[in-house]
Structure 1
């Protein structure tokens, strides 16, 4: 099992990031590179939760999104072709005095088969940089989407 942690600072508010994270409309891949539109399926969506299948590159997972806490989104894997057990993503948002937000991300990957165990091993070692780059790409895209229009 791999547990990967990241901390980043962003100019968007927790509300703005949660709004992007829980927007399951077409074009999601523009913000989240590992969520291809052709793999996206919303099974259920409520005011503070959703049941969504997403993925890319031959890896998919069904996630239970919970954003009932305005400073945290927990995405728990309920089914996947490679992930099982305790697999999840947790995004925690801390507003800072300067108006920015600290974003703490914890990704837990527990492989449920040989492929999953191998990918989890890679993510826990050399793959962390790939996930970190994807997070930075996401933050830039979310910031660009929420930047006030030039006057």
Structure 2
């Protein structure tokens, strides 16, 4: 099992970041590179929870999203072709005095089969840099989406 932790800063507010995390419309991949439209299926959604299948490149997972705490989003894997156990993601947002937000991201990957165990092992070691780059790209895309239009 791999547990990967990242801490980043963003100009996006917690509300802006949560709004993007919980926008399951077309074009999600522009914000989240591992969420291709052809995999995206919203099974249920209410004011602060959702049940969504997403993925890309032959890997998919069904996630239960909980954003009932405005400074935390917990995504628990409920089904996947490679992930099981305690797999999921937790994003915690801390507003800072300078107007930025500290983002703490914890990703847990517990493989449920050989492909999942190997992928989890790779993500926890050499693949950590790829996940970090993907998170930074997501932050940049969310900041760009929320940047005020200037003429």
Using the size of structure 2 for normalisation, the TM-score is 0.99
**How many pairs are equivalent?**
151
* Aligned equivalents of 1:77, 1:138: Cα separation in 2: 20
The unaligned stretches of length 5 or more in structure 1 are none
Corresponding residue number in structure 2 for 1:145 = 145
**After the TM superposition, which parts of structure 1 deviate over 2 Å for at least 4 consecutive aligned residues?**
none
RMSD: 0.4
Q: 1:1-151 alignment to 2 at 5 Å?
A: 1-151=1-151
* Aligned equivalents of 2:143, 2:70: Cα separation in 1: 19
The unaligned stretches of length 5 or more in structure 2 are none
Q: Secondary structure of the residue that 2:122 maps to in structure 1?
A: helix
Using the size of structure 1 for normalisation, the TM-score is 0.99
Q: Secondary structure of the residue that 1:25 maps to in structure 2?
A: coil
Q: CA deviation at 1:78?
A: 0.1
Q: 1:106-141: per-residue Cα shift (whole Å, max 9, x none)?
A: 000000000000000000000000000000000000
